[in-house]
Every structure is written in structure tokens, then in C-alpha cells.
Amino acid sequence: MRVRFAPSPTGYLHIGGARTCLFNWLYARAQGGSFVLRIEDTDQARSKKEYLEEILFSLKWLGLDWDELHYQSQRFDIYRQVAQKLLDAGLAYKAEDGSGAVIFRMPQKTLEIDDMIHGKITFDTGLIKDQVLIKSDQSPTYNFACVVDDAAMQITHIIRGDDHISNTPKQVVLYEALGYPLPKFAHIPMILGAGGGRMSKRAGATAISEYRSMGFLSGALVNYLMLLGWSPGNNQEIIALKDAIAKFDIQDANKTAATFDMNKLLWLNSQYIKSCPIEELAELVKPFLKERNLISDNNFDGKYLEDVLQLFKERASTLAELSDAMAFFFVKDVAMDPAAAEKFFAQDLNAAFGALRSRFAQLSDFSPPRIEEDFRRTAAEMGLSTKQLIHPLRVALSGKTVGPGMFEMIATLGRDRTLERIERAIQLYKNKSR
């Protein structure tokens, strides 16, 4: 059993193409077959190296490897030889304009294929005009090169989006004319946007590399692609790629279109972040922190990063969101939310903050329980409620009004950072009172 994925490097790899590749890959691995990657780069003007590199990188990032790699641009002589064979048999003719284009004479007949997903599909080839095989620039057309290569590469199953159904009769007549064995076809229903129409940029029609840049984990994205047209059964939603192999069969693919739901993808990604081992998560988030100039290779404490991640991994949907949320742990001067500072620094808390600073400085055990104990004692001695002190302290330490548990946050920040930020808040109060 041999399947193929045949992207064109005239653009980046998007959700639809990645899902098609995934279904081919899963079926090959489930059936013990071969997965062939074929780069359809016959359009020399539009094919770009940057697109090819992005496609190959994205597939590897998703965990999809291949058994063979072919480039159509290296096979032009083969297409011309096969076209000549059809000319010699009288099944094709040269264009009358002298351009050198070769055109296939479309037979008038009824075709029926047994699609592995849709069942029987009937076509009337009498409604289809004669098909160009070789264009005037001597490059092959898509349908012709596709048939020649699928036969040469012994592809037994063609799994692709159902937007290719209209190409099927044009290809089947070529298989028959050339005496090639006919592969089995499986056309996967399209992925729709949230409103039921075509996917737009806003509704997920984005390059796989952009999802990576947004901070999606490859495992989560692959998991979501699986659910866009297939289910492992028993209402299971989270399934690893290696575990899906044992359950996957292309004939179980949905017969109706899937709808892309960004909220579902974000939820799934959050589950993968939660379950990710902390050492692995630290490696994944490092590039995002470096991009924001929060850490560098020369200024980096791995243990500190892992401790900070423990505070945030339960509440983040993406690595980018995670990096933004924990940024205040990695800066010298915290940027305070002006509205929060105005609200919570309205009263003079210098005495309370000074007392906190003194107590925290003397703590031998800088742990959440001891920090909380000293905090509550200080608030009580100052005649303040916990609420009156805890919100200003959070703003002073993080610049924000919300975040992880206060005492766990302080313990993770560490004594030195905590004392520096409290001192900065004291100075801020002094400046306001002048």
C-alpha cells in the first residue's frame, strides 16, 4: 500500500494541506505501507525555495516523516515521453497554433468510481472538454503529471480533499488510455470556516509555521487536525499521533465537512501545555522569551524558569500567551498598569510596605507559608484588611492586578527581587505625596 502527499511550493503549508498530509501519513503507518512526498514544482515561475523550505520544515515539526521524496521539476523528460506515446497512439493531438502544446482527446463515456469515503460517484466525460497535457512552454499540466507520477510511483491509494473530485474523471481517462492500474480514491470533505463558508485568515486559514509562531504545540495542532474529519471513538478528544496509528482507517473519515473552531484548538493546546513535562515546556518557551528580550543564552537561570512555569502552565492557551503572562519575572523594572497604580496606590501604604520589606528581609525560610504568615501579621498590625494590602502589593511586584497565587509568586520571585520591587513602590508613594 502506497500513498502520497503532493504539495506545490507556490505557497506555504496551510491547515487543509496539513490535514490531507496527516491522513495520508496515518493511513500508510496504520497499514504498514509507504508514504511518498512529491513536490509538484512544475510551475517554475511561482515555485519558491522559501515555500519549499517552509513546507518541509512544517511537516517535520508536525512529526510527519516520509519514505521517499520526489520533485516533479526533475521529471519533465518523462512527461514529454508519455505525451508522445499518446500522440503516437492517436489519443492526443498537437495544438493548431503551432505552440507545441499537446492535447488529450477526451473520450465520450460514463465513468463510475467507488470512493472510499463518498461511495459511488458517476461522471459524464462528454461534459468535459479536451485536456491539455503539455503546455506551450513544454511544462506538464497538473492532471497529466499527477497521473504519470502516481503510476510510476505505484501509488495505490489517492487521499485528497474533495475539491479534487472534479479532477478525478480527467485523470481516470488518462489511466485507462495509458494502460495504468487504477488506484483507489478517497476524497476528504473540506474544512469550513466558523460561518460555514470557506476558511479565511481570521478563521484559521493560516500557514502551519504561523501557528508555531503563535505558540501552538505541534502535538496539539496534529491532534486538532485529526479531529477535523475523523474521531478515535468513545468521545476521545486528546490522542497522541503514535496512539492514533492503531485506530486510524481512512474509511472512517467523516462524510461531511469539518468546521474549524479556533476556541477548540486553543483549549486543546492548553491541555497539551498543562500535561507537558516542565523541562520540555521550558525548552519550548525559551524562544518566545528570547524574542521578547526577556532572557538570553548568556543571562539565563534554567531552574528559575521552570519554577516560574509551574505558576503559569495551568492557565495558558499558547506559548506566546504564557511568555507574556510571565514576563514580569524576567525584567528589572516592572511596567505598572497606570490604571492599577492610580487605583491601588491612592492611599499612603509606605509604612505597611516598609514593614513588609523588613519582615521579608529577615525571613530565614522564604517559602509561601512563611511569607503568607508575615504578610497577614503585617496587615493586622497596620490595621489593614488583607484586601487593602494584597492588591497594591501585587501591582508593586508584577505591575498587574491578576496573576498566580500571591505567596507562591513572591517565593518564586525570590527575596532580592521582591525587596527591590517593594522599595520601588515605596519611592513611588513618596513621589506621589510631594
CATH assignment of 332-433, given 3.40.50.300, 3.40.50.720, 1.10.1060.10, 1.10.10.350?
1.10.10.350
Identify which of 217, 180, 199, 7 has the alpha carbon closest to the alpha carbon of residue 86: 180
- pLDDT, residue 203, reads 61
CA dihedral 28, 58, 267, 278 (to 10 degrees): 100
Residue 335: pLDDT above 80? yes
* Segment 136-182, tens digit of pLDDT: 999 999 999 999 999 999 999 999 999 999 999 999 999 999 999 99
Cell of 18: 496539513
- Nearest alpha-carbon partner for 373 in 362, 420, 307, 354: 362
pLDDT attached to residue 343: 80
CB 289 within 8 A of CB 221: no
**Residue 427 scores a pLDDT above 90:** no
pLDDT at 291: 96
In 3D space, the residue among 169, 228, 201, 184 whose CA is nearest the CA of residue 20 turns out to be 228
Q: Mind listing the pLDDT tens digit for each residue in 53-87?
A: 999 999 999 999 999 999 999 999 999 999 999 99
> What mean pLDDT do residues 278-287 have?
97
Pairing mode of beta strands 68-71, 34-39: parallel
What confidence tier does 337 reach under pLDDT thresholds 50, 70, 90? Answer: confident
Instruction: Indicate if 109 belongs to the active site.
Output: no
How do residues 254-263 score in pLDDT, each as one tens digit?
A: 999 999 999 9
Q: Is the pLDDT of residue 353 over 60?
A: yes
pLDDT confidence of residue 193 = 85
Task: Give residue 290's pLDDT.
Answer: 96
Across 324-328, average pLDDT: 96
Query: How many angstroms separate the CA atoms of 54 and 69, rounded?
Result: 15
* 3-state SS assignment for residue 148: helix
Q: Is the pLDDT of residue 432 over 90?
A: no
Largest CA distance in the chain: 101
205 band by pLDDT with thresholds 50, 70 and 90: low
What are 99-143's pLDDT values in tens digits?
999 999 999 999 999 999 999 999 999 999 999 999 999 999 999
DSSP category for residue 130: -
CATH dotted code for 276-330: 1.10.8.70
Binding-site residues sit at 201
Residue type at 87 in one-letter notation: L
Give percent above pLDDT 90 in the chain. Answer: 86
Backbone angles phi, psi at 138, to 5 degrees: 70, 15
* Catalytic choice (129, 201, 332, 387): 201
* CA angle centred on 330, ends 329 and 334, rounded to 5°: 70
DSSP state of 195: T
Three-class SS state of 5: strand
Cell for 387?
A: 484586601
Find the mean pLDDT for residues 379-389: 93
- Domain positions in the chain: 276-330, 332-433
Q: Mean pLDDT over residues 40-45, rounded?
A: 92
Decide: 186 and 117 in contact? Cβ < 8 Å.
yes
Query: Minimal CA–CA distance to 160: which of 14, 2, 1, 22?
Result: 22
Known binding-site positions for ATP: 201
Which is higher by pLDDT, 233 or 323? 323
**Residue 133: partners with Cβ closer than 8 Å, 6 or more residues away:** 79, 83, 86, 92, 102, 103, 104, 140, 141, 144
